[in-house]
Amino acid sequence: MRYKFEDIAVNSIAKKKPTTADRNTYLGLEHLDSGNLTVTRFGSEVAPIGEKLIMKKGDVLFGKRRAYQKKVAIAPFDGIFSAHGMVLRPKEQVVNKDFFPLFISSDYFLDAAINISVGSLSPTINWSALKELEFELPPLVQQQQLAKMLWAAIEAQNAYKMLFLLTEQLVKSRFVEMFGDPVTNPMGWEVSPLSEHLRVIGGYAFNSISFTEHGIPVLKIGNINRGIFSGTNLVFWQYDEKLNRYLLYPGDIVISLTGTVGKDDYANVCILGCEYESYYLNQRNAKLELGNTLDKYYLTNILRVSEIKSRLTGISRGVRQANISNNDILGLTLPIPPINLQNRFAEFVQQADKSKFTAQRQTKITSLIYNIINGG
């Protein structure tokens, strides 16, 4: 049947002015993660300023400001929530309480809600418009069945994500076990600048006018700046023999040279996977071409140690846009253990990567199942 949203949900507008005691049970939009109904962080160092919405455990929290970020979560406790959001509760004569948060987090609901956002700089959804939107809902019995299957899929996704994270932690622990703390270098490994162990190859300034929908993907900063390959917003370039110098292949190691001051979006290293047979290296990214004294898995892991990475980001240039240069990388001094020990670590990482790959694949499968069940 088809219902107006005001017949599906209650928009709770009860508010209070926070006290110091409320700071520990405060949720802002910054605490909500897109695509994750579970809240993993909360609280404020001081009492939040201005009136906040009162939330109860189990309420569905919806970020009405910049709704395109698709932030929806279930309140984990009684507390207060940002006034830039909505506190929603199901009308159980129409919608199953277990199905309700899944419905609110669905693209079906969110896309419709985003379309009625008003404002250019910080688009916001008004209840007066939202309550008039109409949605199709299956019968309550079917909603209950769907909720059971959807929550099972989410539980499986979370389990595989946890496996992925635990595997990453295992690799970090193995690194310290084999090489010690790279900052203090307790094992006394030889220390030398990276200029003695690798070459830095800069990218090409591709003209965006000539990008195509097919061909060889051009790696822009956004495709590698989180330390893993992202296929989001990929652009392509037709093969050109003159650009062979800028070709990359699976297994190559690249690093992002430009980002935002104060953010962790540059000086991140990424080992390219097999998503594509080859890639083109764009400007402000660089390829690290290693000699026979340095292994890519050792280098990748040591450059992800925060104290080591800060040696690069700490010398970045720019007020808002942060930049590091090829010479900054070449001048970075690191402990270099014997290559045979690095190779042993690489073997361990490759075995761990198989587990991570399995976890990622299963997460994608369960996500696909979730979308099919949810009509996505």
Q: How far apart are CA 274 and CA 248, in angstroms?
A: 11
Instruction: Judge whether 148 lies within some domain.
Output: no
What percent of the chain stands above pLDDT 90? 70
State whether residue 327 is helix, strand or coil.
helix
pLDDT at 162: 85
Q: Residue 200: which H helix or E strand, with range?
A: strand 198-202
Q: How far apart are CA 138 and CA 246, in angstroms?
A: 53
- Contacts of residue 306, Cβ cutoff 8 Å, sequence gap at least 6: none
Instruction: Judge whether 64 lies within some domain.
Output: yes
Per-residue pLDDT of the chain (376 residues; tens, 9 = 90+): 899 999 999 999 999 999 998 989 999 999 999 888 999 899 988 888 899 999 999 999 999 999 899 999 999 999 999 999 999 999 999 999 999 999 999 888 999 999 999 987 789 999 999 999 999 999 999 999 989 988 888 888 788 878 888 888 999 999 999 999 999 999 999 999 999 999 999 999 999 999 999 999 999 999 998 888 888 889 999 999 999 999 999 999 999 999 888 788 889 999 999 999 999 999 999 999 999 999 999 999 999 999 999 998 886 666 578 889 999 999 999 999 999 999 999 999 999 888 777 766 666 666 665 665 565 4
Q: Hey, what long-range contacts does 135-140 have (CB within 8 A, 24 or more apart)?
A: 135/2, 135/3, 135/5, 135/8, 135/103, 135/108, 135/109, 136/1, 136/2, 137/1, 137/2, 137/3, 137/8, 137/94, 137/95, 137/103, 139/1, 140/94, 140/95, 140/96
* Residues 234 and 126 both lie in one domain: no
Using a 10 angstrom Cβ sphere, with 0-12 exposed, 13-18 middle and 19 or more buried, the burial of residue 329 is buried
* Residues 126 and 200 both lie in one domain: no
Residue 107 tokens, joined: 């693209």
* Residues 200 and 76 both lie in one domain: no
14 phi and psi angles, rounded to 5 deg = -65, 135
| Domain, as residue range, for 52 | 2-137
* Residues 323 and 222 both lie in one domain: yes
Instruction: Judge whether 373 lies within some domain.
Output: no
* Residues 238 and 331 both lie in one domain: yes
* Residues 133 and 206 both lie in one domain: no
* Residues 254 and 317 both lie in one domain: yes
Contact between 294 and 189 under an 8 Å Cβ cutoff? The reply is no
Tens-digit pLDDT profile for residues 305-348: 999 999 988 866 665 788 899 999 999 999 999 999 999 999 99
Of 120, 137, 154, the last residue of a domain is: 137
Q: How far apart are CA 87 and CA 19, in angstroms?
A: 20
Query: Residue 213 is part of a domain; what is its CATH number?
Result: 3.90.220.20
Q: How far apart are CA 136 and CA 4, in angstroms?
A: 9
> Closest by alpha carbon to 80, among 140, 143, 25?
25
Q: Residue 102: which H helix or E strand, with range?
A: helix 100-104
Instruction: Judge whether 287 lies within some domain.
Output: yes
* Residues 199 and 92 both lie in one domain: no
From residue 84, give the alpha-carbon distance in Å to each of 29, 72, 119, 126, 307: 7, 12, 14, 10, 36
Instruction: Judge whether 114 lies within some domain.
Output: yes
DSSP for 109-168 reads HHHHHHTT-B-SSS-B--HHHHTT-EEE---HHHHHHHHHHHHHHHHHHHHHHHHHHHHH
- Contacts of residue 254, Cβ cutoff 8 Å, sequence gap at least 6: 219, 224, 248, 269, 270, 272, 281, 285, 286, 287, 288
* Residues 25 and 105 both lie in one domain: yes
* Residues 240 and 312 both lie in one domain: yes
Instruction: Judge whether 28 lies within some domain.
Output: yes
Contact between 74 and 61 under an 8 Å Cβ cutoff? The reply is yes
Instruction: Judge whether 22 lies within some domain.
Output: yes
- For the chain, how many structural domains are there in total? 2
3-state DSSP percent of the chain in helix, strand and coil, to 5: 40, 20, 40
Q: Which residue in the block uniquely carries the two structure tokens 């061909």?
A: 215
* Residues 198 and 330 both lie in one domain: yes
From residue 55, give the alpha-carbon distance in Å to each of 18, 137, 237, 361: 13, 25, 51, 36
Q: How far apart are CA 321 and CA 261, in angstroms?
A: 6
Q: How far apart are CA 195 and CA 153, in angstroms?
A: 48
* Residues 212 and 316 both lie in one domain: yes
Instruction: Judge whether 133 lies within some domain.
Output: yes
Residue 265 tokens, joined: 């979006």
pLDDT at 120: 76
